[in-house]
Amino acid sequence: MDSGASNHCITNQTMFITYEALNKPSKGLSADKGSSFDIIGKGNAVLYTCVNGGKRKVILKDALYTPSLRSNLISVSTLLEKGAKVYFDGNKAVVKTQDGTEVMPVVKLGKLFAIKMDYPIPETFIAQPNRKAATFDTWHRRLVHTGADTIREMITKSLVDGLNTYGDLKMQGQCEDCIYGKHSARPYSKNHFREKDVLERIHVDIWDPAQTQSACGARYFMLMMDGFSSFRIVAFLSSKSADVTLKVFKTYQIEAEHQTGKKIKRVWLDMGCEWYNQVWEQYRQNEGLDFEFTTPYAHQQNGTAEHSMRTILDGACIALAESGLVLKYWAEVVSTVVYVRNFISSS
């Protein structure tokens, strides 16, 4: 609660029950000399407070949407203008309606007065401490440096919940980490066959060996990607023997077929000895799978898997460079990149 604020300022757009975006964002002046903040929209916001063990619903009329502020500000002067009564007493305060009903208990934290909030119980347990809107550049970094066009499409078509942004939907200059991490070689050949259903064809590849052993003891990771949906699964391995890789694929096949209700038909592989052997051939015959192998030493023919592998490795290299993590955590970074990419739309 702020006695110097002239308006209620809300940093989270989801708190608004009515909202109107400003045609042209304006600037607000903060208490710090020479500093300002962005005002993106306005409307009526709702917050829930905890009063004597119960919940109160409070409507803040004509609140401003100010995503660049660090926290919400409740204006004392606006409360008084709307007919509320505000009482300060030492290290606490209370806000009451005109009929004397307490609606906002306030406690002093340091030099600030904070309102006791009652937060709704989340429907799912998720590591999401902050849903404030962020700039386009921030979302570019959060989404492991996904291309600007893809992020713009996700925002404009509302393909992802919670992807709140403010400001221009473009990068503010070139991303140095992307330039560093995305040095390109010759492009891979395109695969002209287009899958028409999930599990119609699975693309499998393995990356090896890492110069630095991961924190979990891995030197390889095995990629399995559905050609239709582009959904990826990775497994981290200390060995790429036929027995080890087949065990991973069996686990993937059981899980994928159980969750989709469909059967894997084809598997696209290169001619690596980890696949092209009697162990895998016997499994193929038992399962009735169709293995499609590329020409030996022609990894370009494995274009879909190679391109996906390149996307994962680019994201991992950039994330490692930006975060400053030591190399032994490469497996955790790769896992994070794959997890995020599975939520991003693909062509």
- Of 81, 98, 115, which residue constitutes the final position of a domain? 115
Distance CA 276, CA 295 (A): 12
Q: What is the pLDDT of residues 182-209, one digit of tens each?
A: 655 554 455 557 889 999 999 999 998 8
From 62, 88, 115, the end of a domain falls on: 115
Determine the angle formed by the axes of helices 303-323 and 330-341, rounding to 10 degrees. 120
Is 4 part of a structural domain of the chain?
no
Predicted confidence at residue 137, as pLDDT, reads 84
Instruction: Using CB atoms within 10 Å of the CB of residue 150, give its burial: 0 to 12 exposed, 13 to 18 middle, 19+ buried.
Output: middle
User: 188 and 102 in one domain?
Assistant: no
Q: 205-262: per-residue pLDDT in tens?
A: 999 889 899 999 999 999 999 999 999 999 999 999 999 999 999 999 999 999 999 9
In one letter, which amino acid is 208? D
Among 86, 115, 144, residue at a domain's last position: 115
Report yes or no: 274 and 241 within 8 Å, Cβ to Cβ: yes
In angstroms, the CA 145 to CA 171 distance is: 11
Distance separating alpha carbons of residues 208 and 273, to the nearest angstrom = 13
Cα distance between residue 332 and residue 324, in whole Å: 14
Q: From its phi and psi, is residue 199 left (phi > 0), alpha (psi between -120 and 50) or beta?
A: left
How confident is the model over 286-319, as pLDDT tens digits? 999 999 988 776 666 677 888 889 889 988 988 8
Residue 109 is inside which H or E element, if any?
Answer: strand 102-109
Q: How many domains does the chain have?
A: 2
The answer to whether residue 163 is domain-embedded is no
Q: Which pTM value belongs to this model? A: 0.52
Residue 190 is predicted with a pLDDT of 54
Distance CA 138, CA 146 (A): 11
CATH number at residue 55: 2.40.70
Highest mean pLDDT among 40-49, 162-171, 319-328: 40-49
Residue numbers of the domain that contains 67: 9-115
84 and 208 together in one domain: no
Same-domain status, 189 and 292: yes
What whole-number percentage of the chain has pLDDT above 90?
Answer: 33
User: Could you tell me what percent of the chain has a pLDDT over 70?
Assistant: 87
- Tokens 């607000």 found at: 28
